[in-house]
Structure 1
Amino acid sequence: MKAFKLLLFIPIIGSAQLTLNNPEGGVLQLSTVNRSYDQEKTDGSPYLEDEFKGGRVYVNGDVSLEKPMRYNAYISEIEIFAGQKQYAPLLKRAYITAQIGDKTYKMLPYTTDRDLQRVGYFNPLNEGEVVLLFKPEVKLRQGRVPDTNYGKYVPPTYIDISSYYLKKGEAPAEKIRLSKKWVLKTLGDQKKALQEYISGNKLNLRKESDVIDLLHYYNSL
């Protein structure tokens, strides 16, 4: 497939240039390039990891870009470092994935608590037919201004509300809790074999690593 070249100019004391090759016509959101990531005065952070790390962008499985990156868990956006206090957000497309440090970010379908279908970023934690997914997510709790001079000001605060999902085949991922009850209920079959494996290996399904161990076994059945 013929690749198109996209040039982005970001005015940082002159101009900086990023050249991207992408058969779909680019991987950055052109409408929001040249944005500052300076935050308002709040407690906490919109990032689970504040620092930019070495990353790669993959388009249809092929490396398209290598730059420092980080994930904004408040607005579900991958930020690609583009100079001092500047970044370019990555396009949200199913065919575009990112590797930041040792974590993979994929756009995947999922079902909300209200049975609505959405698409969002997840960190896959294993391979196979059934995959445990980590959904990094932060919400902003509103601050409170005191009614009187004696009241206490409460600043807006970022709160980590990350969660786990299970994805079976091509079906949308389902939200779960890390517990024996939730995992077995979501898997739905092979219950006897799974219970024997859990007991025989003394697995604690409140632990991420033990759930991954169980899924390796389940996928082998």
Structure 2
Amino acid sequence: MKALVLRFGLMMLVGCCFSLQASAQFTHTNDMEARPVHEYNTITMIGSPYVYKDWAKGSLTLKNGTVYQGIDLMYDQVKDAIIFKTKNGDVKELLEPVQEFKIGYIENNQPVERTFRSGYSGDGVPAKAFMEVLADGQVVLLKRTSKKIFDRKHYSSATIDREVQESDDYYIAVGDKAVKVKKSKSSLLAAIPDKKDYLETYIKSNALNLRDDSDMAKLVAYYNSL
């Protein structure tokens, strides 16, 4: 019972955050250019094509500056597409050019908010690709997750296994130019070399594991604070 109350409270917290933002500016999702969605059969699928498997509250900022707040979102990482519910409850795929979107949900009884941004180029970045912002500032740490669906038929069996496989790439960006980096100290320091001595000391004193997303983000946040 306590766990249920806690979960409900956290969901209300996430919802309130988006509601407060929504009071500042809101435009009905029915106004957006979109098309009907062909949904996946996820019942027989191993893994999920979405960044989060359920509907979550989020916000959108279009390239033209229009902001949509407090709407139900899903992010399809196979198609690199944003799925949303209209005011009438219809499920649509967004066709408008998006600058940034945020999505918030509860995971392990903790509120999570993730930010995705487009408009970066360079070093193999797909055009119009959404990149997750892990650390923001003068220098931005970005993560690009790509997913593909594979169907496998077992030998001498009519059964087909459908599985989602994902791959991650990381980038350091200044302005709209992104450079791919590896999850290692040498690669990260090569991308932001001007404060190397400070960063070396910070890595050592904080025992950072730069194969971990959160520790990579801490290092870039520290760089931006110098």
Does the TM-score normalized on the shorter chain lie above 0.5?
yes
Q: CA RMSD in A?
A: 3.0
- Give me the whole-angstrom Cα distance separating, in 2, the residues matched to 1:156 and 1:20: 33
Q: Deviations over 1:83-134 (max 9, x none)?
A: 899411223525x42221111221132435xx47633111212221111112
Equivalences, count: 190
**Larger helix fraction of residues:** 2
Which residue does 1:164 correspond to in 2?
170
Match of 1:99 in 2: 102
Q: CA deviation at 1:74?
A: 0.5
Q: TM-score, normalised by structure 2?
A: 0.70
* 2:188 match: 183
Which structure 2 residues correspond to residues 182-201 of structure 1 after superposition, within 5 A? 182-201=187-206
User: What TM-score does the superposition give when structure 1 sets the normalisation length?
Assistant: 0.71
CA distance in 1, matches of 2:150, 2:40: 19
Q: Is the 8 A contact 1:92 1:107 kept in 2?
A: no
* 1:132 aligns with one of 131, 135, 141: 141
Alignment of 1:107-122 (within 5 A): 107-112=118-123, 115=124, 118-122=127-131
Q: Secondary structure at the match of 1:217?
A: helix
Cα 1:151–1:39 shift into 2, 3 Å: closer
Counterpart of 1:129 in structure 2: which amino acid?
Q
Determine which structure has more spread, i.e. the larger CA radius of gyration.
Answer: 1
Partner of 2:55: 52
Q: Which segments of 5 or more consecutive residues in structure 2 lack a partner in the other structure?
A: 1-26, 105-112
Q: For 1:203 and 1:116, how far apart are their aligned partners in 2?
A: 27
Q: Is the 8 A contact 1:37 1:87 kept in 2?
A: no
Aligned to 1:143: 152
What residue is the counterpart of 1:37 in the other structure? 39
Deviation at residue 61 of structure 1 after TM alignment: 5.1
Identify the match of residue 73 of structure 1 among 57, 77, 81.
77
Conserved? CA contact 2:28–2:87, under 8 Å: no
SS where residue 128 of structure 1 aligns? coil
- Give the Cα separation in 2 of the matches to 1:169 and 1:58: 18
- Could you tell me how far apart the structure 1 residues matched to 2:137 and 2:214 are? 15
Distance 1:209 1:103, change over 3 A: same
| Structure showing greater relative contact order (alpha-carbon pairs closer than 8 Å, 6 or more residues apart) | 2
Give the 3 Å change call, closer, same or farther, for CA 110–35 of structure 1 in structure 2: same
Q: Flag structure 1 segments of 5+ consecutive residues without an equivalent.
A: 1-17
- Taking a change above 3 Å as real, the CA distance of residues 142 and 193 of structure 1, as seen in their structure-2 partners, is same
C-alpha distance in 1, partners of 2:88/2:162?
26
Give 1:73 shift.
0.7
Counterpart code for 1:168: V
Q: What residue is the counterpart of 1:215 in the other structure? A: 220
**Deviation per residue, 1:48-86 (Å, 9 max, x gap):** 311011112223555334321110010001100248994
Number of the residue aligned with 1:12: none
